[in-house]
Homo-oligomer: A and B are copies of this chain.
Amino acid sequence: MKLYSAPIEQLINQFAKLPGIGRKSAARLAFHVLSLPEGGAEQLANAILDARKLVTFCGCCQNLTDKELCDICAAETRDKSTVCVVAEPRDVAAFEKTREYRGVYHVLHGVLSPINRIGPDDLRVRELLARLESGVVKEVIMATNPDTEGDATALYIARLLKPLGVKVTRLAYGIPMGGHLEYADELTLLHALTGRREI
């Protein structure tokens, strides 16, 4: 005998497919959705359908947007000569939260990962090269995560860009603010040491 009736089982299965949601959490979400007041479940379903229907890629930076050009690329106040290359749209949000960076972005939508069969053609590398042709871009900041795949992607793209005469930089890696030296791992400490600056 099934534990739940078919439509509930189906909803739990769908929730359980989401990242970080197991069977138990999925059941909890399903029952929550069923207990929502009139229209609540429809709002969630419509938000999913709308987002899927309306959201496309920005023609310039490849970030997710519902316009032809995203707000950042369309803003006159942003410095178009500096491009920060990130792996995912949420990395753009992370930089925007600093409220300090005034350049623009380029979203790769992934990192090179031979083990998952993701090569340069699966990333938005071609679009990045096309952006550099106009000569407006002076500096490209590689801001992929400091892990094996992120480093490999940064290195690969840096090698592609160098011959074009554009300055390619990488984010600084070191002790995070508020972090303690005694708890920092060796690699972080090594990066902090080699990246030391005169004060």
A residues with a Cβ closer than 8 A to B are: 1-8, 10-11, 13-15, 17-21, 25, 27-34, 41-55, 64-67, 70-72, 75, 88-90, 92-93, 96-97
Contacts and interface: CB of A to CB of B under 8 A. Distances in A.
Nearest to A18: B29
Given A8-B55, A47-B14, A25 B31 contact: no
A53 B34 CA distance: 9
Contacts of A2: 71
B45 A10 contact: no
Given A1-B71, A17-B44, A18-B44, 14 more contacts: A1-B96, A3-B97, A4-B89, A5-B65, A6-B66, A7-B51, A8-B55, A8-B64, A14-B47, A20-B25, A33-B51, A34-B64, A41-B48, A44-B48
Nearest to A97: B3
26 contacts: A1-B71, A1-B75, A4-B89, A4-B93, A5-B64, A5-B71, A7-B50, A7-B55, A8-B64, A10-B47, A10-B50, A11-B50, A13-B47, A14-B43, A14-B47, A15-B44, A18-B29, A19-B29, A31-B88, A31-B90, A34-B51, A34-B64, A41-B48, A41-B49, A44-B48, A45-B45
B44 A14 contact: yes
Contacts of A17: 44
B42 A49 contact: yes
Nearest to A71: B1
For this chain, the copies found in one complex come to 2
A47 B5 contact: no
Given A47-B11, A51-B33, A55-B5, A27 B67 contact: no
A8 B64 CA distance: 8
B33 A52 contact: yes
Q: What 8 A-B pairs have minimum CB-CB distances, sorted nearest first?
A: A41-B52, A14-B47, A11-B51, A45-B45, A3-B93, A45-B48, A7-B51, A7-B54
